[in-house]
Amino acid sequence: MVDAKLPVGRKPRYWAQAITQLSAADPVLAVIIEASRSEGLRRRNDPFTMLARAIVGQQISVKAADSIWQRFSDLCGGVSPERVLATGEARLRDGGLTRQKSAYLVHLAEAARDGRLAAPKWHKLDDEAIIEELVVLKGIGRWTAEMFLIFHMQRPDVLPLGDLGLRRAIGQRYAGGRTLEHEEINDIAARWRPWRTVATWYLWRSLDPIPVEY
């Protein structure tokens, strides 16, 4: 079930305030925001579907992830824990998923079936506590947990330093294409607090005509 505290399909309530403050604090980001001002982060899915999309999207482009996700959904006849379990690992691999991702998706479906994703307490936990809850699941590392914080929980101040797209966008916009170290990125992102999620979303958007979505 979708948490009623987190509306589906609408931008977070803080979005307008965030883009105003970010635009004032960072002229580079202001230009990026202005190009896509009417767009923004929107919550689409329940915890299982969101995490499944993140697993499918690990280490591949947005376009490739969308294509594989559609094949995955078609193969299962829709995405739900029950349908993924009924499909099984072998058929998931036949549908184009790697052996590892197929195993992760089945494990995630088992966790959802067993109630381990039914966590109404999440909205009371801080970001690091939620990450700790999620990374015990197979296939859920810090990056995937951070995507959960951004796209499902809509937490406002997440900076996924391990995200290749974010690092590429920051390198292009702030360092002439040079790959920056985490410490350098943190220095740049300090001006974005407490809205680093919003800055991250627009930096992703600056790279791809397809908005990032999970």
Mark whether 64 and 34 lie in a shared domain.
no
Per-residue pLDDT tens over the stretch 101-143: 999 999 999 999 999 887 777 888 999 999 999 999 999 999 9
**For the whole prediction, is pTM greater than 0.85?**
yes
Q: Which domain holds residue 169?
A: 15-41+158-207
C-alpha–C-alpha distance, residues 120 and 172, integer Å: 39
Q: Does some domain include residue 57?
A: yes
Q: Does some domain include residue 3?
A: no
- Name the residue with higher pLDDT: 3 or 209: 209
Active-site residue flag, 163: yes
**What contacts 142, CB < 8 A, 6 or more positions away?**
131, 135, 162
Strands (E), 74-179: none
DSSP state of 18: H
Contact present, 194 and 46 (Cβ < 8 Å): no
> Could you count the other beta carbons within 10 Å of the beta carbon of residue 214?
22
Mark whether 53 and 23 lie in a shared domain.
no
Per-residue pLDDT tens over the stretch 186-197: 999 999 999 999
Residue 2 above 70 pLDDT?
no
Mark whether 29 and 56 lie in a shared domain.
no
**Residue of 3, 127, 163, 208 marked active site:** 163
